[in-house]
Amino acid sequence: MNNLFFFLLLAASIESPTAADGSANAYIYAGCSESRYAPGSPSQINVDSLLSSLVSASSSTPYSNLTSTAASASFPSFGLFQCRGDLQPSNCADCVRSAVSSISSLCPFAAGAAVQLDGCFLRYGNDSFVGEPDTSVLYKKCGASGGGGYGPDQIGIRDAALSALTGGGGNGGAGGYRVGAAGYVQAVAQCVGDQSASECDDCVAAAVGQVRAACGYAVSGDAYLGKCYARFWTAKGVEKTLKRTKVLTHKFLSSNDLLLY
């Protein structure tokens, strides 16, 4: 309980990072399963082996899913990582290493866990979540509100930037990294590489719907779903007010048993 509260505060205190200038290793959220394996068990060996294989793979590919049966085929551990599409391989590997180290300290012995850093997402579990679509909202945040608008046609400009992410019209295909821009607003979306092009479209459309609905006159908005996210932000200097960033949703729904920190 104390730990949960601590990590909620930790996530809420982080200012909205942007893909443009945020550190790739900046923490967004993490979740751990309630079920845990016994220290020293075959499950632990499988998980440890899986995580180190994911770190190794991340220096040569922005996405990979792996299965570990290193100690025992009876307790397989499934895992994947997805780096943001604009990261260099060395930054991807650095991010995944940092994600593994967050998971190890936040979720010791967890049968399943997920962590989202600014530049990468990593998830593992003993259930086969790989390849499944997942549009449940895990984390949603709006930046400071310009109350009534900080620029002419603010909503129209934001929506133009966001619409470049959806409908397959954006750049990137399956597991694609998509960017949009209009006026002073920029937007990005990223799917996890296990999604088909149409699953990615559906997920990004759902994420865009979440930020549109929630973040009216905000200078930024982020929605992280199970298998994708969409974010927008406003060029520095346009925002006039400094109201606190609002965290609207912060939970790992019961999908595969994970609790969000």
Ligand X SMILES: *[C@@H]1O[C@H](CO)[C@@H](O)[C@H](O)[C@H]1NC(C)=O
Q: Which residues bind ligand X (CB under 6 A)?
A: 35-37, 43, 65-67, 111, 126-127, 130-131
The smaller minimum CB distance to ligand X, of residues 57 and 219, is found at: 57
Q: How far is the CB of 200 from ligand X (least distance, A)?
A: 15
Question: Which residue, 111 or 117, has its beta carbon nearer to ligand X?
Answer: 111
Cβ 35 to ligand X, closest distance in Å? 4
For the four alpha carbons of 210, 216, 218 and 219, in that order, the dihedral sign comes to positive
Nearer to ligand X, 68 or 98 (CB): 68
Q: Smallest distance from the beta carbon of 203 to ligand X, in angstroms? A: 16
Least distance (Å) from ligand X to the CB of residue 123?
13
φ and ψ at residue 64, rounded to 5 degrees: -155, 145
CB of residue 254 vs ligand X: minimum separation in angstroms?
14
| CB closer to ligand X out of 77 and 154 | 77
CB atoms inside a 10 Å sphere around CB 62 = 22
Distance CA 124, CA 113 (A): 6
Q: Which is nearer to ligand X, 16 or 104 (CB)?
A: 104
Q: How far is the CB of 44 from ligand X (least distance, A)?
A: 9
CB-based contacts of 153: which residues, under 8 Å, 6+ apart? none
Q: Which is nearer to ligand X, 37 or 224 (CB)?
A: 37
Considering beta carbons, is residue 43 or 210 the nearer one to ligand X? 43
- b vs e for 88-123, b when ≥16 Cβ sit within 10 Å of the residue's Cβ? eeebbbbbbbbbbebbbebbebbbbbbbbbbbbbbb
Q: Decide if 79 contacts 65 (C-beta within 8 A).
A: yes
Spatial contact of 33 and 129, defined as CB atoms under 8 Å apart? no
Give the CB-nearest residue to ligand X: 131
Q: E strands, the chain, where?
A: 27-33, 63-68, 77-83, 113-117, 120-125, 137-142, 177-182, 185-191, 220-225, 228-234, 246-250, 258-260
Whole-number minimum distance, CB 111 to ligand X, in Å? 4
Provide the Cα torsion 124, 103, 225, 14; round to 10°: -170
